[in-house]
Amino acid sequence: MSQLPAPRRVFPAALLLLALAPVAAPASAADDRGPVLSAAPLPLPPGHTSADAVALNERGEIVGGSRGPGASRAVLWRGATVTDLGPGAATGINERGQVVGGEQVSGSVGAYERTPRLYFRGTSTALPLPNRAFAITGPIADDGTAPVAFPSTTQSYHMERVGYWKDGAFVGLPVPGPHLSLNAVNNNGVLAGAYVPQFGNHPYAFRCQGATCEELAWLPGATGLASVSAINDRGAIVGTIGTNAVRWDGAAVTGLPALPSATWSSVSANRQAVNERGDIVGTSGNRAVLWRDGRVVDLGSPLGGASGAVAVNDLGDVVGWSETPDYSRRQAFLWRQGRVTDLGTAGAPNSTNAMPTALNNQGVIIGRAVTPQWETVPLRWTVRPPR
């Protein structure tokens, strides 16, 4: 395992946000903000033109990737400050402040290589794999468990192998390829993913603990592929089989109901698709929905067109997106206790397209906007806690 000192360049937001400072809303618009306390783009490192905010913890630390001259950089936002963690892009952060991600590596023609990295306390550590490959990382549990999927060679882009790191060691999991995903982990050492066969025969979802894996139950009558979105600390796994949103508990699988007017439903492809209370979010018939206590709740669409629910926190707050019927605008929204608040685009300059990506239990919501030049702007909203 190599230890590389990661440059930690800290940039005060006061110097970086002058051009992005949000304009005060008129009184009528401010009245519609409801629980929103603040909304603004996150600062970028000097010279960078775009970034993504992908994950956060309960301390409000936000991670992602920033792009400018040269290779992309993993970044951490803490309060009003952005810190350069080193080469790569972050994909997850835990409550200890450990950050997982990966660094794209230039190779020979036809080679695909992405080195997984752990960023922690000023150091960027390359995480070992059995072979060099284009590795895909995701979340990281509070004990440092970080799942990964990767090909067998640098010449392949099929995710043929899966495993995880913990305490500096890699543990391979006995799941056959060639098309695998492993993007869910909880704080009790349980991981979950899905297998897509080469020619469409017998797809399935699976659950692993330690070095042992088992196939999850199939929904009777369902056809199509299986995908896993998230797992909570109680062990509830959520995902989609074909056109059906599903939940796995132990050996049982439950199909989640669609809206009466819909013929399909899917769980959000987000690590916060289920909370510790068992609330689940997703989409049914192009409408944002919440599944709570076995029932489906239509969350509406502030802009009147299609909508989708992205993530839910442990308080039951849901963030999602909605768009206009003519697809000209897409904005974020917050659903809380039956009321929808349009979050807009958080003051992103010249943007009519914004999506939330995550939220914590302290009232911090993150997302991204897209500019007309197709650059992404990282966003942060702060809202009052629910009463």
What is the rounded distance in angstroms from the CA atom of residue 24 to the CA atom of residue 33?
12
pLDDT of residue 154: 77
329: Cβ contacts below 8 Å, ≥ 6 apart: 303, 323, 352, 353
188 vs 156, residue with greater confidence: 188
pLDDT at 28 over 90: no
339 vs 5, residue with greater confidence: 339
Tell me the average pLDDT across 180-195. Answer: 97
What is the rounded distance in angstroms from the CA atom of residue 294 to the CA atom of residue 154?
45
105 vs 44, residue with greater confidence: 44
Tell me the two tokens of residue 147: 């799942």
Model confidence over 361-370: pLDDT tens digits? 999 999 999 9
Q: Residue 203: pLDDT band by 50, 70, 90 thresholds?
A: very high
The percentage of the chain sitting over the pLDDT mark of 70, rounded to a whole number, equals 89
Model confidence over 77-101: pLDDT tens digits? 999 999 999 999 999 999 999 999 9
pLDDT at 280 over 90: yes
| Global pTM value | 0.89
Cβ atoms of residues 319 and 328 within 8 Å = no
pLDDT of residue 106: 65
